[in-house]
Structure 1
Amino acid sequence: MIVQPIDIRPSIDGIMDIKNTFKITTINVSGLNTTLRQEQVLNYMKINKISCIIVTETKLQTASAKMIYKEYKDIMTWWSCDDDNHFSTGVGIIMNNDYAKYIIKKDITEVIKMKFWNFI
């Protein structure tokens, strides 16, 4: 039996092409209530060229989450909050608009569980 090598690494003329990558990460922020912490998250995203960041333990209430990053036009956010227990829960997704424009449906079902469907 002959085994054909499969090279799934993106390369152009043998040189790795990593310009077309999508970085996604998660971070436990232990509270996103201050503007300083909110700016730190965005700076972390920008410095590390992260396309999508999932923040956990935001400790936000729904009303507060709706206002965070509202003035930023280059990102899109989705939040899931538990107003009855906001001191220990909350999840958010912050995504660069270059990728967020492909989200065609979102379904936030629980505090911890968020589902996204995209079409690329």
Structure 2
Amino acid sequence: MTINDIKYNNRKISIIISINMINTHVKILGDNTIKNSFILVEDVTIIKAFGVTICPPRAPNIKEVIWSPPKPGWIKCNCDEAFNASFNIVGAGGIFRNHLGDFVFGFAEKIESNPLFLAGVSIVIKCMDYAI
């Protein structure tokens, strides 16, 4: 049965066939989407009910970081920066911890840095400013 049969020949389509057509079209559309998607957790159940294969975005770079505490009575600051090429912005932050690993202070902010390689220098200077 085609759309023209339904529209011009006054043929009726059953609810089961309608549901199956919707499910099939949603699955085909979802599976043929080539871009990775940011999907809300609440929507995953609905998307999976249609049988769509979900392509979550890949983590750009995962590094194992081993933290070593400072000497007793000292505070250590760890800082890092990240560049978002889509928006051409640099974000940076730092975290201060004592010798027990307890959180003392932390910050995160957008860095106005040009050229980009100066972002690392900028964040180290910010950490020193906060430390003083």
Query: What is the TM-score when the length of structure 1 is the normalising length?
Result: 0.23
Select the structure that is richer in helix. 2
Larger Rg: 2
Bigger relative contact order, structure 1 or 2, given CA contacts below 8 A and separation 6+? 1
TM-score by length of 2: 0.22
Q: Which has the higher strand share?
A: 1
